[in-house]
Amino acid sequence: MPRLYPHKVHGWQLVYRIWFPDGRSTDKHRFSKKKALAQLMFKEASDLENLSRLGSLKREDVVSFLNLKYISRAEAEALSRGPVAVTWDELRRQYEETSRKSCAPYTHACNMVKVGKLDEHFKGTPPEAITPESVEAYIEKRLKDRVEKGKPDEDGKRRTEPIKSATIEKELNILRILLDPLGGERRRRRDGIWPDNPARQVKAPRKADERLPRPLWRADIIAFYAALRGRRALLGGYMAPLVMTYLYAGLRPSELINLTRQDVNLSIGVIHVVGKDAAAGREAVRTKTGTARTVEIHPKLRVYIESAMRKGKGGRYVFGGDRRQDGDYVSKAVRQTIEAAGIEGVTPYSLRHTFITGLLRSGADIREVQTRAGHKRLATTMRYLHVAPTKNPVKRIKFKD
């Protein structure tokens, strides 16, 4: 059992023992000036001591304790009976498995594209050799990179734009997760304890180029409705019900195409957005965040949902019957309708932006909007406040004489 003592010079001293497969053992010690960190070290050293005594140390455990500096490299190789260096391929495989289980298919595909960018940059560097400075160098490089956007011009060239800082922040978050196994269980910044992961010691770039949500305004909606009337036959006749649910319930595209009859309760007027579902052999995750929520059915939306469910003739999906809609086809159909309406500066996702903006303009509390929108962070919801004008609050102040 490890022992923790007060130390006159170093604050706290931790003494622990490790056992090797050949029967040898050795005593080790570490110091910490902070009690909270010393207590965390005591817990981790206890795990190391117990696992080594029982001979239950796995290779990943040895790597973790090595990176936490509880053992030396020579001791790690003796415990694992061989080399313990971790490769990028191993870290990538671990992350890929985690992403596939916890993210929607589209989000997982986007994650793996970002992993490819990280892999391309850090492939020649051993994971253990990555430092905060090398992570900062990667961020600086990405801020200078450009990406092609839009349709080709007459010469076949597409315009280029700088990489969004939000994209770089997502890549940094993925790098943090990739490198977490090297430092064992993630340590949070609490009581002065900083994580060992070099990527977690680097701040994300400032969002000077943050793109604000662009909803459809009243004139846009009128034009959109007019264009929609001539396109009701799209998506097998489900175009109007699907688009109106997009607009009046604010569901994400993946949530729309995965909506089942069991998710809709017309008797009480709500839509249950399921977080995870392993039915029918599909991916378990059905929402971006993996969390469930409930959205009330707007009176104007009810007739469209009833129409879609009658058309489906008892099939599993609300917008497709026995066959689920293809997300790419849905996006293309909505985009074509927007273009036919002559609305500029919006995307299919702007229908969801319009729903969230409508909640704020109607006076809904910011927390209520966060819940109905399914946002994981309140900061995401607050990005919509700029499109929810209010009357001058100063004029509404009243004091008693």
pLDDT at 127: 85
Residue 65: closest CA among 55, 81, 79: 79
Rounded distance between C-alpha atoms, residue 140 and residue 387, angstroms: 32
Rounded distance between C-alpha atoms, residue 104 and residue 127, angstroms: 28
**CA 355 and chain centroid, separation:** 22
81: alpha, beta or left? (left if phi > 0; alpha if psi -120 to 50): left
Which sequence spans correspond to the domains of the chain? Answer: 3-80, 88-201, 218-387
The helix (H) or strand (E) run that includes residue 166 is: helix 165-179
For tokens 């929520």, what's the residue? Answer: 293
Q: Give the dihedral of Cα atoms 82, 88, 91, 92; nearest 10 deg.
A: -140
Diameter of the chain by CA atoms?
Answer: 86
pLDDT at 351: 94
CB-based contact 339:220 (threshold 8 Å): no
**Lookup: tokens for 196:** 């060992």
pLDDT at 183: 63
pLDDT at 126: 79
- Residue ranges of the chain with pLDDT lower than 50? 184-194, 278-285, 401
- Would you call 217 exposed, middle or buried from its count of C-beta atoms within 10 A (0-12, 13-18, 19+)? middle
pLDDT at 25: 92
Q: Which residues contact 228 (CB under 8 A, 6 or more apart)?
A: 239, 240, 243, 337
pLDDT at 396: 55
Q: Which fold has domain 218-387?
A: hpI Integrase; Chain A (1.10.443)
Rounded distance between C-alpha atoms, residue 242 and residue 271, angstroms: 13
Q: What pTM does this model have?
A: 0.62
Q: How far is CA 373 from CA 255, 316, 350, 352, in A?
A: 12, 24, 13, 9
For tokens 């001058």, what's the residue? Answer: 392
Phi and psi, residue 80, nearest 5°: -95, -5
**Lookup: tokens for 55:** 């001979």
